[in-house]
Structure 1
Amino acid sequence: MSALVISRRPVLSRQVARLPGWTVLVVWTAAVLLPLYILVVSCFKTTAEIYDNRLGLPKSWAFDNFVNAWTRANLGQNFVNSLIVTGGAVILTIVVSAMAAYPLSRYKLGWNAVMLGLFLSGIMLPIRLASVELFTLMRNLGLLDSLTGLILVYSAIRIPFAVFIFANFMRVLPSELDEAARMDGAGEVRILFQVILPMVKPAVSIVAIFTAIAVWNDFFFPLIFIFDDRYKTVPLAISVFVGQFRTDWGLVFASLAISMAPILIMYCLLARQIREGVGAGGGMK
C-alpha cells in the first residue's frame, strides 16, 4: 500500500508542475477563439443586433451580409487586385531573396556578416517613417495608382526578413551538394533553383505565408498610393462600410470573413512545410 502511495506522488507532482503551463494555454486559446467567435456570429447579424448582444447568436443565419458586402464594395475586382499584388510580391520576394541569400550563405566572403547586418537593419527600421519620401519616389517613377508599384514596395519591405530566413536554412546544407552539381556542369543559377531551393522548401513556405499575410492585410500603402477604385485592394475596399457617423458592422464583419478565406486556404496548404521549417529552425546554430 505504501509503495502505491509513493508511486502516485511523482505523477501528482508532475501534474501540479504542469498546471501553470496548461492555465496559460487555456487562457491563450480563449483569447484567440473569442474574437473568431464574435467574427463568425456577427457576420449573420444586423448592426442593431450586434450592438444589442455582441456575444449572442443571430436571430437568423441568412447570408444577406455576405451578398451585400460582395456587391456594394465590388469585392470581386478588389479580390483580383489583392491576388495580383500578393502573388506578385510573394514570387518577387522569394526569387530576389533566394538569389541574395545564396552567396551570403554558400560562399566564404569577408563581408558576409556586414551584408547580413544590413539586411537585419532593414527588418528593424520601420518603413512607414519614410512614407513621404516613398510617395515622392513613386510619383516620380509614375507608379502611383499602379499594382506594379504596390508589388515593388511590398517586395522591398519583405526582402530583408526573407534573406535572413533563407540564409539560415541554406547555411546548414552540406557543401557537397554544390560541388556535385558543379561537377555535372550546372551553373550557379541552376544550382540555386534546382538544387538548393528544393532542399529548403520549409523556408520557402515560411517566407510565402508571412509575406502573403502582411501584403494581403495591409491597409496603409494602398491608402496612400491608390486613388482609382479600379486598383483598390480588399482592405481598402472594406473601409467603405466604415463611416464618420454610421458604420454597418454586419457588412464589415462579413467582408472580413470573406477576406480571410484565401489566407486560411494558403496556410492549410503550407501548414506541414511551416511546421517542418519551425522544427528545423530550432536546431540551427
Structure 2
Amino acid sequence: MISGTAGKLQGLTKSPGAGMVGKLGYALLYAVLAVVAVLQLFPLVWLLFFSLKNNQEVFNLPPLSLPVHLRWENYEKVWSAGNIDVYFFNSVWITIAATLLTVVLGSLVTFAITRMKWKGSSLVLGLFMVAMMIPVHSTLIPLFSLFNNTGLTDNPLSLILTYVAFNMPITIMILLGFYYALPREVEEAAVIDGCSVNRMFIQIVFPMTSSVLATTAIINMIYNWNEFIFVNTFISSDAYKTLTVGVQNFIGQYSTDWGAIGATLMISILPILVTFLFLSDRIVEGIAAGSVKG
C-alpha cells in the first residue's frame, strides 16, 4: 500500500501539468525580478540623461528624453573648472584610509574579545553594541567642539577619526559571528608549535577571515564615500572637501547649473557602483559566513 501511494505521488510530480506550473512560476518570478531591476535602474538612467542637458532642456524636455546635443562638456567643466578632480582624490584617499583603519582595528578588537580571556571583555563588547544605538548626527556639536579645541577642524584627520569611530560597532558585529565559527584547533596547533599571539593573528587568523573582511570593507566604503554632514561641518577649505560637498559649487544665489550638478553626481556614483557590482557576491558570502555560530 505504501509503495503504491509513493508511486502515485511520483507520478503526480512527473506529470506534465506539474512541470507546466513550475515553468509558469519561474516565468512569473523572472518577470517580477525584471520589473524590479528596471525600477532600480531608472534613477541611474534618468541621472545620466540629466547630466547631458543644459538648464533649458532640464526643465523643458521629458525626464527620459535625450537632449538635441549630448553635452559631454558638462563632465569636462566640472572636472577642470569645478575643482571636482581635487574633491574626487580627497574622497578616494579619505575613504580608503578610514576603511583600512576600521577593518584592522575591528579585527583586533574582535580577536581580543572572542579568542582571549580577560576581565571586562563582555563590558567592552557591550559598550560597542550600545554605541550602535546612538544617532550619529546627535554627536555633531560635541565632535565639532572637540575638534575645534584640539585644532583638528578643517583637517581630514577629523573625518577619518569620526568614520572609524562610528563604523567600528557594525564592523565588530559582522566579524563576531565569523570569529565564533572559526575552528580553534588551528590556533591551538600554532600555539603548540611556538607561535606567538601577534604572529598567529597576522599569519593565521587574519587570512582566514578574508571573506568577511571584504564584506566589512565594502560596507565601510559605501558609508565613507557617501557621507555628507560631517564633511560639511568639519571641513571649510576646498583643498580638503570631498565629492558629496563639492556639488554645492554649482548652486549659486541667482542661478544653478543643473547639468553640472548631474555630471558631478554621476561621477560620484560611478566608483562605488562599479565596486559594488564587482564585489557584491563577497557581501553575501561574508554575511552568510558570519551568521553561523559554532
Q: Is the TM value for this pair above 0.5?
A: yes
Once the two structures are TM-superposed, the CA of residue 283 in structure 1 deviates from its matched residue by: 4.3
5 Å-filtered alignment, 1:134-283, equals 134-283=143-292
Q: Please say if residues 145 and 231 of structure 1, whose CA atoms lie closer than 8 Å, have aligned partners that are also in contact.
A: yes
- Structure 2 alignment gaps of length 5 or more: 1-10
Q: What is the CA–CA distance in structure 1 between the aligned matches of 2:270 and 2:194, rounded to whole Å?
A: 45
Q: Please say if residues 44 and 62 of structure 1, whose CA atoms lie closer than 8 Å, have aligned partners that are also in contact.
A: yes
Structure 1 partner of 2:41: 33
The one-letter code of the counterpart of 2:17 is R
Q: What is the CA–CA distance in structure 2 between the aligned matches of 1:245 and 1:72, rounded to whole Å?
A: 19
The one-letter code of the counterpart of 1:218 is E
* 1:88 maps to which of 97, 120, 129: 97
The one-letter code of the counterpart of 1:131 is L
Q: Please say if residues 99 and 220 of structure 2, whose CA atoms lie closer than 8 Å, have aligned partners that are also in contact.
A: yes
Once the two structures are TM-superposed, the CA of residue 15 in structure 1 deviates from its matched residue by: 4.7
Q: What is the CA–CA distance in structure 1 between the aligned matches of 2:30 and 2:278, rounded to whole Å?
A: 29
Q: What is the CA–CA distance in structure 2 between the aligned matches of 1:200 and 1:36, rounded to whole Å?
A: 34
Once the two structures are TM-superposed, the CA of residue 210 in structure 1 deviates from its matched residue by: 1.0
Change (3 A) 1:185 1:58: farther
Q: Which is worse superposed, 99-108 or 63-72?
A: 99-108
Change (3 A) 1:20 1:244: farther
Structure 2 partner of 1:99: 108
Q: Please say if residues 105 and 168 of structure 1, whose CA atoms lie closer than 8 Å, have aligned partners that are also in contact.
A: no
Once the two structures are TM-superposed, the CA of residue 28 in structure 1 deviates from its matched residue by: 2.5
Q: What is the CA–CA distance in structure 2 between the aligned matches of 1:193 and 1:56, rounded to whole Å?
A: 54
* SS at structure 2 position matched to 1:231: coil
Once the two structures are TM-superposed, the CA of residue 22 in structure 1 deviates from its matched residue by: 4.6
The one-letter code of the counterpart of 1:224 is T
Change (3 A) 1:116 1:8: farther
Change (3 A) 1:26 1:121: farther
Once the two structures are TM-superposed, the CA of residue 84 in structure 1 deviates from its matched residue by: 2.1
Q: Please say if residues 110 and 175 of structure 2, whose CA atoms lie closer than 8 Å, have aligned partners that are also in contact.
A: yes
Q: What is the CA–CA distance in structure 2 between the aligned matches of 1:163 and 1:283, rounded to whole Å?
A: 15
Q: What is the TM-score with the length of structure 2 in the denominator? A: 0.86
Structure 1 partner of 2:21: 13
Change (3 A) 1:55 1:10: same
Deviations 1:31-63 (A, max 9, x none): 211001101222211122122221112222341
The one-letter code of the counterpart of 2:192 is M
Q: What is the CA–CA distance in structure 1 between the aligned matches of 2:177 and 2:130, rounded to whole Å?
A: 16
Q: Please say if residues 78 and 231 of structure 1, whose CA atoms lie closer than 8 Å, have aligned partners that are also in contact.
A: yes
Q: Please say if residues 178 and 292 of structure 2, whose CA atoms lie closer than 8 Å, have aligned partners that are also in contact.
A: no
The one-letter code of the counterpart of 2:16 is R
* SS at structure 2 position matched to 1:230: coil
Q: Which has the larger radius of gyration?
A: 2
Q: Which is worse superposed, 271-280 or 229-238?
A: 271-280
Deviations 1:89-141 (A, max 9, x none): 01110111011000222245675554333322222221211211111111111
Number of aligned residues? 283
Q: Please say if residues 43 and 65 of structure 1, whose CA atoms lie closer than 8 Å, have aligned partners that are also in contact.
A: yes
Structure 2 partner of 1:72: 81
Q: Please say if residues 176 and 290 of structure 2, whose CA atoms lie closer than 8 Å, have aligned partners that are also in contact.
A: no
Structure 1 partner of 2:8: none
Q: What is the TM-score with the length of structure 1 in the denominator? A: 0.89
- Structure 1 alignment gaps of length 5 or more: none
Q: What is the CA–CA distance in structure 1 between the aligned matches of 2:98 and 2:198, rounded to whole Å?
A: 21
Q: What is the CA–CA distance in structure 2 between the aligned matches of 1:240 and 1:128, rounded to whole Å?
A: 24
Q: Please say if residues 180 and 293 of structure 2, whose CA atoms lie closer than 8 Å, have aligned partners that are also in contact.
A: no
Q: Please say if residues 84 and 243 of structure 2, whose CA atoms lie closer than 8 Å, have aligned partners that are also in contact.
A: yes
Once the two structures are TM-superposed, the CA of residue 26 in structure 1 deviates from its matched residue by: 3.5
Structure 2 partner of 1:132: 141
Tell whether 2:56 aligns with 1:48.
Answer: yes
